[in-house]
Amino acid sequence: MDTQTLQSSKERRRARRVPVRMSAFAYVGSRGYACKIVDVSPYGCRIQHGNPTVFGYEVQLHVVGQTMPRSAWVIWKNAKEIGLSFFKPSADVAEI
């Protein structure tokens, strides 16, 4: 990745990412996949999963220990991680 591309991606961020280590399940339709949330902002998060190719365009993210799922769009994928953008941003990162 060249410097200009890296700077452009940083400039697109609307909020600072907070590093976390949270267990979650990402649901695609009725299938749930265990994953780890590795960072989060009010607008989205980055998750780790062993096989990102199973994820489509939309997911329901259920954080272990919380009752309310978060709906999100898949923004990007690589070999082990997925970037998600929440349908509704949250004012508080702790609300994920």
Domain spans of the chain, in order of start: 17-95
Q: How far is CA 69 from CA 37, 77, 88, in A?
A: 14, 21, 12
Q: How confident is the model at residue 3 (pLDDT cuts 50, 70, 90)?
A: very low
Distance separating alpha carbons of residues 55 and 43, to the nearest angstrom? 19
pLDDT at 58: 93
What tens digit of pLDDT does each residue of 32-77 get? 999 999 999 999 999 999 887 777 789 999 999 998 999 999 999 9
Q: How confident is the model at residue 93 (pLDDT cuts 50, 70, 90)?
A: low
Give the class (CATH, top level) of 17-95: mainly beta
Q: How far is CA 4 from CA 10, 75, 87, in A?
A: 10, 20, 28
